[in-house]
Amino acid sequence: MDIVYIRDLRIETIIGIYDWEREVKQTVSLDLEMAHDIRKAARTDDIQYALNYKSIAKRLIAFIEQAEFLLVERMAEEVADIVTKEFSVPWLKLRVSKPGALRGSLDVGIIIERGERP
């Protein structure tokens, strides 16, 4: 299985359950690993056969910046849904973290996998 990835995509959004979190945007960080057969893109050197990570990043940034979430779990499910459905990704592993959310820790968050490994 080939993997196309995006690491540490930082996006500002409203996220959290506490009153102060509902008033100020916080940074979330996304790491995505997405299954995609790269052989045809490699053979042809043609972007139309590649998984366009720039398009995925732009779509996720636009979505997350305008959305509001209480839980990172909801954000993760919605991001996974966008990537799998809109970009025809059969499998992904997604890490969503909130840097600085827990004193004494670099970040906290969740990791999910969705879809079938090809």
From the list 81, 108, 103, the residue with the least C-alpha distance to 92 is: 81
Catalytic, out of 58, 85, 93, 98? 98
Q: Residue 95 carries which side chain, given as an amino acid letter?
A: R
Alpha-carbon distance 5 to 2, whole Å?
10
Residue 117: partners with Cβ closer than 8 Å, 6 or more residues away: 1, 35, 91
Q: Is 98 a catalytic residue?
A: yes
Q: Please state, in angstroms and rounded to a whole number, the distance separating the CA atoms of residues 108 and 28.
A: 10
Query: Which residue numbers are catalytic?
Result: 98
